[in-house]
Structure 1
Amino acid sequence: MQGSAYGASLAGGTFDFLSFVKQPQTILRCLSWLFSIVVFATITSEGYVNKAKEQDGKCMFNENDQACNYGVGIGVLAFLACVVFFILDGYFPQISNAKERKYIVTADLVFSGAWTFLWFVCFCFLANQWSKTHSTAVMADAAQAVVVFSFFSIVTWALLTFFAFRRYRLGVSDFDQEYRDPTNDHAGPYPAGPHVSSGPTGYQQSPFSHNQETPGEYQPPAY
């Protein structure tokens, strides 16, 4: 069953949009995509406070610009990653190569796990800085929304990690035990060539004898 690894044997057919939308991974990616927009858009639009005597705005999280930069960076990268994995999820059922499927599933697992951890760090960092913020010019609703949706992002990306890990486990046993790449399979013997024979055919014996006659004694001519 060469095509069974990671569901490669089921590849083909038409794209079913309704089935794709109803998948748990698709719903979680939509939520993760929306949460990332809320985080980085809120920080970008309302996350910096301009004081009367200063031209440059300060981050609303305890005037720590690193907190705002971290939240924007994680949110933008999460937004782009969701778009990429949206496309891969839609194209995944059409892929018949088991190795390509394994690369996609592995990338999904690694990235989702990494972003679960990074969102956890973001939540803890922003919550800590917000607890130290005492400025009255800060919009509390915006800061609290960023912290809350950072926490929601932890949940959605953790669930995406779980589904990616489950899909990886379902395919890895079939891939390791049953999938064989014909170009890399050196276990079988090499086939014989089309023109191999046991020996030369149609060969005739050389007209020259291998046994040369020894010359006789020299006879001088008679005068």
Structure 2
Amino acid sequence: MENRISTLGRAEASVLQTNKVIRNTYMLLSLTLAFSALTAGLSMAMGAPRLGILITLAGYFGLLFATTKFRDSSLGIVFVFALTGFMGFTLGPIISSYLALPNGGSIVMQAMAGTAAIFLGLSAYAVTTKKDFSFMGGFLMVGILVAFLAGLGAIFFEIPALSLTVSAAFVMLMSGLILYETSNIIHGGETNYIMATVSLFVSIFNLFTSLLHLLGFANND
């Protein structure tokens, strides 16, 4: 009887911990998305030019390393906002270049709507079905690495077809990452809401930029 009570107590504590991680993750994700939108708007208002690929990668991976290192302290939250704010700032010039096109506003809105629909739909599916998508972890890791390297190749060698292929691949990979990370939180695989927020934010960011690229091509821009 005592063992049963102890087991139930642990199960209840686990559920409470999971709910806390989910609540904190989506609260922090909402705040970082708003802050990223603010820094993107700021860079657009300033007419900031696109940062070079090396500066962008150095800033991203540097801030990601700092966030990971301090994920268990209050400094981790500071670095989350620094990371997402930096990513938003780099996004501003990209959005500006699309808005300068004849139908650029429509392309940006379609990309935003598509990103929101995919994220909300996949998140709701993972939460309601409670399916375990942990089996996707290895595939996603390899796929993202390959797509990232291919994307760098497309940039340095200026291969438009490869760039479009990478964007299409990233739409699928980021969709899978949203399912994987949401499932990971629900099943207790991810207990740090700071890292969960970073993972979901990066998924949303890459999903949006990839859809922007594909929609721009589909509209012959």
| Shared fold (TM-score, shorter chain, > 0.5) | no
More helix by share: 2
Place the TM-score, normalised by the shorter chain, in its bin: under 0.3
